[in-house]
Structure 1
Amino acid sequence: MTAAPLPRHPKIEVDVDADLARALLAEQHPDLAHLPLHGRTHGWDNLTWRLGDDLALRFPVRAVSAELVEREQRWLPLLADRVPVPLPVPLRVGRPGARYPWSWSVVPWLRGDTVAATEPASRTAWAAQLADALSALHTPAPRDAPPSPHRGVPLADRHDVVTARFTAATPHVDALRAAWRDGLAAAPWAGPAVWLHGDPHPGNLVSRDGALAGLLDFGDLTSGDPASDLATAWLTFDADGRAAFRARCDALRGWDDATWLRARAWAAALVPVLLAHPDEYPLMAAVGRHAAAQLAPR
């Protein structure tokens, strides 16, 4: 996976520099402590050090993120076999201690390019692969699947929060508001709660040599309405890629028009979130602008 420059994290609570990462390895996984650390990156919730050529260390950087890593540690080993693309299933678990307060993971390094840094037109080549991966995941989840108030829930539950984020400064805001209204008016999800990735935007996808090479960051793993995940149709693809993605999803899962209207509403809801910190996360801001343009009338 190609490393992006380390952004300024607006809410970081605990940093993990090379000395701390090395000390934690020496204490808990000493057989890995000789491997070089390089390519430090982080997103909103976690920081990643690349370890040697084939591994990475994944550390939460704030208290609310700690549960998300534990979620990956519990559930990814059970889900990975059903998804036909590589997932960063934890290989080793790090425990909280005096030096660092939360659980952390040693995961495989998935080679390729962060999709957010690639041209949208190039993604059509693997649109059906992403549909295969999400369709394989979107099966009924057990009752003890991790809950989320932010993903997979009825759109009405998010209405006040989402509409407050739409402002005059939001690109194509009228189209986003219309997409949200259409989703609210659509029939709600009436099926069983299915497993959801929770956040399959282009920053959490890896491509390589014209193929989908990995699905990252399952910290928002939850269950509910599949429309939440299907929003990636607008976040990730252009019109051609979206058509290929939808056709494959419909062939595998038979989603109805109401599901796609809700998915479109979810995409609209995520635009202001992706645009919230353009200086710290320019790639995510670019995803937000792309999605807004895809949702606008043509």
Structure 2
Amino acid sequence: MPDPKMHADEADIDATLVGRLLAEQFPQWADLAIRRVESTGTDNAMFRIGEELCVRLPRIEGAVDSLRREQRWLPRLAAQVTLAVPVALAVGEPSEEYPYPWSVLPWIAGEPATRQQLAEGLIDPVAAAVDLAGFLKSLHAADTADAPAPVAGRRGSPITGRDETVHAMVAELDELGAQLDAPAVLAAWDRVMDTPAWSGDPVWIHADLQGGNLLARDGRLAAVIDFAPSLGDPAVDLLPAWNLFEGEARAAFRAALGVDDDTWERGRGWALSIALVALPYYTRLGTNPRIIADSWHDIDALLKDT
């Protein structure tokens, strides 16, 4: 059966399609077993190929640019960061029946490092916070020579560019009858808007750090996946401070990163704005209850942490 849809306009993707694509473009892997990877990821469908490989296929056209950037830049970044990242073994191209490029990747063993795993002690939250901070310091220090220039409006660009969107999302949630404390949210957002912009050079960023994009093995972080690699303000990579960590782990994450107050505040703004954008979209579609629940959690965590 087709992969469960997350968007109204996404491509029909199933194991049969993946088999045909492999047979056409990479016949050396066409006889391997194909299994869909259960995921609430919104941009790409994942299928395991045999025991050592997987394929990643964009669900929608809007996910293609991130995939192309992964294919182009992760081979270079992999040697400069402290955790494993997914480097494509082969790049699939659009075909008559599937319109987007796609990747064949090594299968990285591990389980998503979710809040639930941290809460249940399956992953040490303080160790995870320190490990992730070390990864981010290495990523943010990676060589930016010849890297693409930051793009206005993309995550990592000046956060003031999201002001109109945040106000529109608060209004839309009100129309949907959501139980949002709009005055508290907008007061927190106003503090972000009053925070000085990033004054340093743009650095490499992941731009979508949440538990589903972190893999743990043997109780420790092992890999970071699902990149949208680009250059920008490193504050956007502070999302786990609120969407994953709390208490001692949050404090350890901040201390290990060593970020200043302004960067921390902009990170808070990125976490808030991303949750506010996701909520009405997936509330209307009803296709991803996990993201809806996570967005409410993040907003609550952010308001309690102000």
Structure-2 change in CA distance of 1:132 and 1:202 (3 Å)? same
SS in 2 for 1:56: strand
2:23 pairs with 13, 21, 26, which one? 26
1:115 pairs with 113, 130, 139, which one? 113
- Aligned-residue offset at 1:172: 4.5
Distance 1:291 1:142 in 2: 35
1:178 partner letter? A
2:235 partner letter? A
Q: TM-score, normalised by structure 1?
A: 0.89
1:161 pairs with 165, 169, 190, which one? 165
Hey, what does 1:106 align to over in structure 2? 104
Hey, what does 1:275 align to over in structure 2? 279
Q: Which runs of 5+ in 1 are unaligned?
A: 1-5
- Aligned-residue offset at 1:96: 1.9
Hey, what does 1:288 align to over in structure 2? 295
Hey, what does 1:3 align to over in structure 2? none
SS in 2 for 1:93: strand
**Residues 230 and 263 in structure 1, CA contact (< 8 A), matched pair in contact too:** yes
Hey, what does 1:137 align to over in structure 2? 139
Distance 1:13 1:66 in 2: 12
**Residues 37 and 49 in structure 1, CA contact (< 8 A), matched pair in contact too:** yes
Q: Which segment is superposed worse, 101-110 or 173-182?
A: 173-182
SS in 1 for 2:105: strand
Count of matched residue pairs = 288
1:293 partner letter? D
- Aligned-residue offset at 1:26: 1.1
Hey, what does 1:249 align to over in structure 2? 257
Distance 1:107 1:233 in 2: 29
Hey, what does 2:78 align to over in structure 1? 80
SS in 2 for 1:34: coil
**Residues 59 and 104 in structure 1, CA contact (< 8 A), matched pair in contact too:** yes
1:161 partner letter? T
Hey, what does 2:46 align to over in structure 1? 48
Distance 2:79 2:236 in 1: 22
Hey, what does 1:211 align to over in structure 2? 220
1:247 partner letter? A
Structure-2 change in CA distance of 1:170 and 1:79 (3 Å)? farther
Distance 1:228 1:77 in 2: 22
Distance 1:146 1:44 in 2: 26
2:10 partner letter? E
1:163-178 → structure 2 map (5 Å cutoff): 163-166=167-170, 167-168=173-174, 169=178, 171-178=180-187
**Residues 188 and 303 in structure 2, CA contact (< 8 A), matched pair in contact too:** no
Tell me if 1:152 matches 2:156: yes
Distance 2:188 2:216 in 1: 29
**Residues 115 and 244 in structure 2, CA contact (< 8 A), matched pair in contact too:** no
Q: TM-score, normalised by structure 2?
A: 0.86
**Residues 15 and 36 in structure 2, CA contact (< 8 A), matched pair in contact too:** no
Distance 1:171 1:237 in 2: 22
- Aligned-residue offset at 1:287: 2.1
Q: Which segment is superposed worse, 190-199 or 18-27?
A: 18-27
Percent pairwise identity: 39
Structure-2 change in CA distance of 1:245 and 1:209 (3 Å)? same
Distance 2:64 2:154 in 1: 17
**Residues 120 and 238 in structure 1, CA contact (< 8 A), matched pair in contact too:** no
**Residues 236 and 287 in structure 1, CA contact (< 8 A), matched pair in contact too:** no
**Residues 115 and 245 in structure 2, CA contact (< 8 A), matched pair in contact too:** no
Q: Which segment is superposed worse, 223-232 or 266-275?
A: 266-275
Hey, what does 1:233 align to over in structure 2? 241
Structure-2 change in CA distance of 1:72 and 1:185 (3 Å)? same
SS in 2 for 1:296: helix
- Aligned-residue offset at 1:117: 6.3
Distance 2:182 2:243 in 1: 16
- Aligned-residue offset at 1:58: 0.6
Q: Which runs of 5+ in 2 are unaligned?
A: none
SS in 1 for 2:251: helix
Q: Which segment is superposed worse, 145-154 or 236-245?
A: 145-154
